[in-house]
A and B are shown apart, each in its own frame.
Chain A
Amino acid sequence: MTIAMPQKSSDVPLVTIAPPSPRKPIIMTSLAVALGAVFIWMAPSDQVTTFLFNLGDPVISIPDWEFNARIGATVFAILAVLFAAAAWPINARRGSLMLPALGVGVSLVLAFLSWVGADSRIPITGLLQGSLLLAVPLVFGAMSGVLCERSGVININIEGQLLVGAFLGAVVGSLLSNAYLGLLAAPVAGALLGLLLAVFATKYFVDQVVVGVVLNVLAVGLTGFLYTRFLTEEPDLWNNPPLLPTISIPVLSEIPILGPILFDQNVIVYLMYVVVIVIQIALFKTRWGLRLRSVGEHPEAADSVGIRVNRTRFRAVVLGAAVAGLGGAFFTLGSVGAFGREMTAGNGFIALAALIFGRWNPLGALAAALLFGFADNLQNVLSIIGSPIPSQFLLMLPYVVTIFAVVGLVGRVRAPGADGIPFRKS
């Protein structure tokens, strides 16, 4: 398309660029107004909400916030509307709406907390710390998806990769009584499962969705079988791994609020930071990443310049599966210790949703995974402090939020061009 130049003669049709669609600002504003009004209306005007910021016994203590529930809800709702209003001029300039959207979201959550936290205390720092923990396996799973799918292989198999990682991590950690050796074994299990995915996808050209689904069933069956045969027979020997210790990073862990959330965790969480950053840089700033993305977008073109498409895909899938396997270890070594049947409980599918939600980008997937983790943990916290909403509806919350986000704000997503299409060299 040619860009229209200002011309003297008026009968030459100009190619005009349509003004940006106001769909997103409209959605944001109506959400802010509608939900804000509900929260203000529901918040009791005669009760006090308390936000707690201190976790344990921090070096720098932040005083608790105490405020009238309705006034708090009103302030945060107005803030949400202001952020939504800011989206309009930015949208008109075709700018990124990420910051206003984030502002609207955070303000609405705070308004919501002002209502449901009336007459009780909301541990903000604990809420966020728990959210990060719940997001860890999702992030690793989504990174597995990023690597596989950017290279053109659909990865429905994340769930299975997490599960075998959790299993082998626990078993090796238990047999050797060393959590770190278990952590080394977990990615091996993931990679072995990924090897099957890679072989069937790139050598036998089996439909990748089929292989992924089937390997999930295989992972559930195998771990369940071995669990019943060995782990439940002699749990002390097979299923009693030590937990990974918490490592406080000096100085950083003493930052108020952020410190305990980000820098007072076990080694898997730190590995997660490294993995996300490395994958983001490797994919978009290195030759390796360019090649990987090229076989995922246009394998014929990549092949014509001498890139071995199926070999590149093979390696990407195995590497991705190893990352997911590592994340699986979080279920056992990083949180509860012992392995349990089907303990990944659909997290692999949520990771898949985070991957799509994050538009196949490492940072986007990270943000989506954190959102899921937050919604999940919000529900945990609210069920502890007691809330006016039935617990089932709180449990639904993360999933409802996701549907609204996908429908309203993300809309049509575009997968890598050749995602799921086998490459046969002709």
Chain B
Amino acid sequence: MSDPTNNDPLMDDREASTGLSGSTTADTLHPPTELTSSVTGELRRAVLGMNLLVSALAVVLALAIGAVLIALSSPNVIESAGYFFARPLDTVSAIWQSVTSAYSALFQGALINIDALREGDISRAFYPLSETLTVSAPLILAGLAVAIPFRAGLFNIGAQGQMAFAAIGGGFVGFAISLPAGVHLIVSLIAAMLFGAFYAGIVGFLKARTGAHEVITTIMLNYIAIYFLGWVLNQDWFQREGRNDPISPILSDTALFPRFFGDGLRVHAGIVVAVLAVVVLWWTLTKTTLGFKIQTVGANASAARTAGIDVGRIWIAAMLIAGAMAGLAVSMNVNGTDKVVTAGIVGNIGFDAITVALLGRGSPFGVLWAGLLFGGLRAGGLAMQASTGTPIDIVLVLQALIVLFIAAPALVRSVFRIRAGGTEALSLAKGWGT
């Protein structure tokens, strides 16, 4: 079992259930499945999700490395290390103090404010959880915008631009027309989805018709969308009256996501939309012909073409879905938290989404969990920076390390000296070729 290519979880289960053991049986079982496991195994793995133990250990390992960074850079630690040989315990306690206070603030900032809970201040106690859900919603949706093209073998770096472009449509409908409450919100969301889908569709169309590489076109369209948004924000029909800075009018109340718990907590109905999108896309991918075609094209475009699938159309379809998801993602900010369109409406969500999609292994439910985890890290990181002064950038380091370690289970296993088993390195992108 030391050969890393033969670690399909289903194969292990089958072996265990038949009660067969011994190397000869394993050898006779493995070779015929090896070829198919490279194609179907990948899909199964994506659905099965990740090996829980390795994932948990990956998070532990990432937190440990983060702790080293926090300790080494803490002013208190550096100061006490100056007289380390006189009073070594000072350094140890400074290290302990800096790491525990930072991580405790991170944890409480992501989930629940324990002090406030003791005091019975429910609203303040659950404020962190509300923030986590608020931040997660656009991350999950933008993560889907990257994940779906991944499944079709496309690398969509363009969620950023698709979101910026979609903000123009969704925002304009939100402030310029008047409709009854609810209907207005839905029309605004649809406008954002259409704008996003159009913008992402360009990429799929160019790829299908001319072979223009999607990595180039999405990067270029990101810049174009951001400058276009900047131009739109300076036009009379989009800029708020009496303002010189690039900002749109405030959206009508009828176009806003309802908040669950009044104005004290920011969490709004957008998170429900995000979860619904996850379910719908999971269903589309696994239960529909379109989903099957997307996965087939992603697994092997030339085989799919031979089998009669119009690969170009599937690429376009995957990008249209992606753009619609990016449109919903930016609506979380436009119709949810910000209530206006500004040049910075997208933030860095489109790029964070790439990490979310990777951690989620391109599967909708994986993206859901990854989005919640990163949303929690983000919300907690802000609280940590505010209360302990530890820069929020440590959250980026943690995110990167978690994805890296989960992607390389062999490394995690060797660090913790666990025997092989479970899923192997994930494979999503198919290189540059088509």
List residues of chain A with CB under 8 Å of any chain B CB: 149, 154, 200, 204-211, 213-215, 217-218, 220-230, 346, 349-350, 352-353, 356-357, 390, 392-393, 395-396, 398-400, 402-403, 406-408, 410-415, 419-421, 424
Q: State whether A218 and B221 are in contact (beta carbons under 8 Å apart), knowing that A204-B411, A210-B407, A356-B215 are contacts in the complex.
A: no
Nearest Cβ distance between residue A65 and chain B, in whole angstroms? 31
Contact partners of A207 in chain B: CB under 8 A: 407, 425-429
User: Across the interface, do B403 and A403 meet the contact criterion of CB distance under 8 Å?
Assistant: no
Give the nearest-CB partner of A223 in chain B: B393
A396/B404 contact (C-beta < 8 A), A221-B397, A226-B73, A412-B211 known: no
A-B contact pairs, 22 of them (CB 8 A): A204-B411, A205-B425, A208-B429, A210-B429, A218-B397, A218-B404, A222-B393, A225-B394, A349-B157, A392-B228, A392-B230, A396-B223, A399-B224, A402-B216, A403-B220, A403-B224, A411-B211, A412-B211, A415-B433, A419-B431, A419-B433, A421-B431
Q: How far is the CA of A225 from the CA of B71 in the complex (A)?
A: 12
Known: A214-B400, A228-B391, A413-B432. 13 other contacts (CB 8 A): A200-B407, A207-B428, A208-B429, A211-B407, A213-B358, A214-B355, A218-B396, A218-B401, A222-B397, A230-B73, A356-B213, A356-B216, A392-B234
List chain A residues, Cβ under 8 A from B227. Answer: 392-393, 395-396
B399 beta carbon closer than 8 Å to chain A: yes
Complexed CA–CA distance, A220 and B219 (Å):
18
Residue among B216, B220, B399, B432 making CB contact with A420, cutoff 8 Å? B432
Partner of A220, one of B393, B407, B430: B393
CB–CB A415/B73 < 8 A: no
Please determine whether A229 and B391 come into contact, CB atoms closer than 8 angstroms. yes
* Other-chain residue from A222, A353, A410, A421 in contact with B215 (beta carbon distance below 8 A): A353
Residue in A closest to B397 when the chains form the complex, CB atoms:
A221
Residue numbers in B under 8 Å from A227 (CB-CB) = 393
Distance from A360 Cβ to chain B, minimum over Cβ atoms (Å): 9
Q: Is the interface of A mostly helix, strand, loop or mixed?
A: helix
Q: Which of B391-428 contact A (CB under 8 A)?
A: 391, 393-401, 403-404, 407-408, 410-411, 425-428
**How far in angstroms is the closest Cβ of chain B from A171?**
13
Is the interface on chain B under 10, 10 to 19, 20 to 34, or 35 or more residues? Answer: 35 or more
> Which one of B211, B221, B404, B433 lies within 8 Å of A214 (CB-CB)?
B404
A298 CB → nearest B CB, Å: 14
| Least CB distance, A372 to chain B, in whole angstroms | 10
Contacts of B411 in A (CB 8 A): 200, 204
Residue with the greatest number of chain B CB neighbours at <10 A, chosen from A205, A214, A230: A214
| Contacts known (A353-B215, A399-B221, A406-B217); A224 close to B391, Cβ less than 8 A | yes
Q: Is B82 an interface residue (CB 8 A)?
A: no
Complex-state Cα separation, A236 to B433, whole angstroms: 48
Contact B400 A392 (CB under 8 A): no
Question: Which chain B residue lies CB-closest to A426?
Answer: B5
Contact of B394 among A221, A357, A402 (CB under 8 A): A221
Instruction: Judge whether A352 and B215 touch: CB under 8 Å.
Output: yes
Cα distance A350–B157 in the bound complex, in angstroms: 12
Name the A residues within 8 Å of B394 (CB-CB).
221, 225
Measured CB to CB, the closest approach of chain B to A395, in angstroms, equals 5
Across the interface, name the chain B residue whose C-beta is closest to A205.
B425
A411 with B215: CB separation less than 8 A: no
Check if B155 is an interface residue, CB within 8 A of chain A. yes
**Cβ contact within 8 Å between A209 and B399:** no
Question: What's the nearest-Cβ distance from chain A to residue B377, in Å?
Answer: 11
Q: Is the CB of B231 within 8 A of A356?
A: no
Which residues from 364 to 397 on chain B have a C-beta closer than 8 Å to any C-beta of chain A? 391, 393-397
Contact yes or no, B428 A211, CB < 8 A: no
Q: Counting CB contacts under 8 A, is B182 at the interface?
A: no
User: B358 — which chain A residues lie within 8 A by C-beta?
Assistant: 210, 213-214
From A222, A224, A403, B221 is in contact (CB under 8 Å) with A403
**Chain A residues near B397 (CB, 8 Å)?**
218, 221-222, 225
CB closest residue in chain A, given B395: A221
Inter-chain contact A352/B219, CB cutoff 8 Å: yes
Closest to A233 in B: B75
Are B432 and A356 within 8 A (Cβ)?
yes
In the assembled complex, the CB of A420 is this many whole angstroms from the nearest CB of chain B, namely 3
Residues of B contacting A211 in the complex (Cβ-Cβ under 8 angstroms): 404, 407
List chain A residues, Cβ under 8 A from B355. 213-214, 217
Give A211 to B431 CA distance when docked, in angstroms. Answer: 13
B1 vs chain A, min Cβ distance (A)? 16
A420 in contact with B430 (CB, 8 Å): yes
B426 to chain A: which residues have CB within 8 Å? 206-207, 210
Q: Which residues in B have their C-beta under 8 angstroms from that of A349?
A: 157, 219
* Min CB gap A373→B, angstroms: 15
**B380–chain A nearest beta-carbon distance, Å:** 15
Using CB atoms, name the residue of chain B closest to A221.
B396
A223–B393 Cα distance when bound, in Å, is 8
Say which residue of B213, B219, B391 sits within 8 Å of A350 (CB atoms).
B219
Interfacial chain A residues near B223, Cβ < 8 Å: 346, 395-396, 398-399
* Alpha-carbon distance between A419 and B433 when the two chains are bound, in angstroms: 8
Residues of A near B430 (CB, < 8 A) are 420
Interface residues of B in 224-241 (CB under 8 A from A): 224, 227-228, 230-231, 234
Whether the Cβ atoms of A221 and B399 lie closer than 8 Å is yes
Complex Cα–Cα for A410 and B404 (A): 34
Q: B95-112: which have CB < 8 Å to A? A: none
